Amino acid sequence: MQRTSFDQMPCPVARSLEEVGEWWSILILRDAFYGLTRFDQFAQSLGIAPNMLTRRLKGLCDAGLLERRLYQERPPRHEYVLTDKGRDFRPVLWTLFAWGNRHLAPEGESVVLTDPETGEAVEPVVVDGRTGRPLAKGVRVVPGPAATPGIRSRFAPRTAI
**36-90 tens-digit pLDDT:** 999 999 999 999 999 999 999 999 999 999 999 999 999 999 999 999 999 999 9
The tens digit of pLDDT for each residue in 128-147 reads 889 988 887 777 778 888 88
**Residue 53 burial (CB count, 10 A):** 18
Collapsing DSSP to helix, strand or coil, 67 comes out as strand
- Model confidence at 159: pLDDT above 60: no
**Residue 25 burial (CB count, 10 A):** 21
State which amino acid sits at residue 34.
Answer: Y
State the pLDDT confidence band at 33, using cuts at 50, 70 and 90.
Answer: very high
Maximum average pLDDT range among 61-65, 111-115, 155-159: 61-65
pTM of the predicted model over 0.75: yes
Distances (CA, A) of 3 to 6, 7, 18, 19, 105: 10, 12, 10, 13, 31
Q: Give the pLDDT of residue 8.
A: 65
Distance of alpha carbon 43 from its chain centroid, rounded?
A: 19
Whole-angstrom Cα distance, residue 78 to residue 139? 43
